[in-house]
A and B are shown apart, each in its own frame.
Chain A
């Protein structure tokens, strides 16, 4: 058709291809020094967890009563040993595996539940009331109490800790997703998809969900911090990792009996928990600012 006028390639409108949105977000994130620090700590920690067998100097559960309660910077044990003579550094290294793993599993499970509920609630007005009341119900329990309740029902183990923490993350995730869905479903491109006959499921998965990724990612990062802290807390209470598993929370709880004679048994895992939680929190904050300065999560 010769009479069709070719659309002109206006130089202003066509942005260079490599400037895609996520790249911009990462650039903005790296400009934020605190978030950058958080990212580095997290990367180091992931490396530590993955390379644990290489980095650890000793077997984390091997007892050596002849070298018990060695202080920090002792020969052969730079972070000392605990009351059974286990190397604290190796236990910290292996403990990071557990913290990260439980954190990731808990967050992923929590996202699955929360995103599903949030999508359904936000999209279908009729389901909204029921789902949000259920969410309110979960909200009404103090988090740690809810987790303890779930563990009391399921039994003590790290898997159950992950499940408990994930259930605890569901309500806030559902609320965040629902909020985004409510605003996105009124957009014209959703109307456009309806007008070409797209099914509700297709609209929800392919068109609404990708557009609420930003708040979900921020939520997931922040939630990692909470999950790791809660795992430690539950293990400290004896509901999570069981001895001799090297878990940071249980290390603190075992070390507190020797708080005066060997303070490093509580301080070292305490610092590990603090650094991790701090890293995830500042990264989450940075991500939120990088994705949209006006967004409120």
Chain B
């Protein structure tokens, strides 16, 4: 079965990273329909069992191939362009810092989408939750400006997490009490956050009247989280740690077990005595808290250290990209976020040095995402061994 023409299993990373048995179910494809081909062995077997990892990697490679054609069409050398892009993102001091700064919130918002997915909920309110966290941090840090810096940071972060969690909990409560679909309520809460914050910073109670444009007060200088050793943004280790904690929580704790069980079948879960209400509330609150934390780091560790238009960017929605790239796996959000962060960090240099339009990076990401979400690759390579795609939103009760 092992084909000599096959590239050595370099696409399948060390088996240390267990395939997430949760949503792919690829690990034990034993219970097949009658007459189905038996699970393959050898290299193919390895690939099939690790397709949760193989597919995204192939998707990235394919996207870069298509991107190369696009870059070529603009009259540039793709190899050189990619070299410039990634040299800047990883091999220069300022580029590496930018990569890590961009990776931090992406991991967190990725987790904020990934956790509710396990419960069968689709949180597209990461944007509003992140904004709530950001404005909370801005408010707390300014209100406490006379206190010691360390205290300001801690309180600002806590306030941001709580506000984010609260914002998400509104959607969760609407879901559990009135059956309002979370996709609708979270996306509407995004708009409410936008309007509310505009009022707060545009002449409202949180606005810095000394500035000629709408903005919050700046974070006090001492409380700005300058990169640790001038290289590592403080938020990054926190985000990495949290993704490990979330993975552990989902896999090894009772709470995680309950969340996943509800996600698989809420009726069975209910029969087994697991409350769907609790699962929804917990998952959404956790998710909102993580998004709020992302907002806090955006405010505390990145210029201009103020809440003003455009600060939140599209981060909340990028979380969906990250979670899908990671196929809902909390640990997978790390490589996904690093990839997206590095590409975003390198894009301006691509333009500065070569004159390539920075949109090419967005195109690359879009193609990657399309490849991961559509079952094309898996079907093509693994055919009948392909596992079902990550179920996006079981969204029970809909």
A and B from one complex = no
A residues adjacent to B (C-beta < 8 A): none
B residues adjacent to A (C-beta < 8 A): none
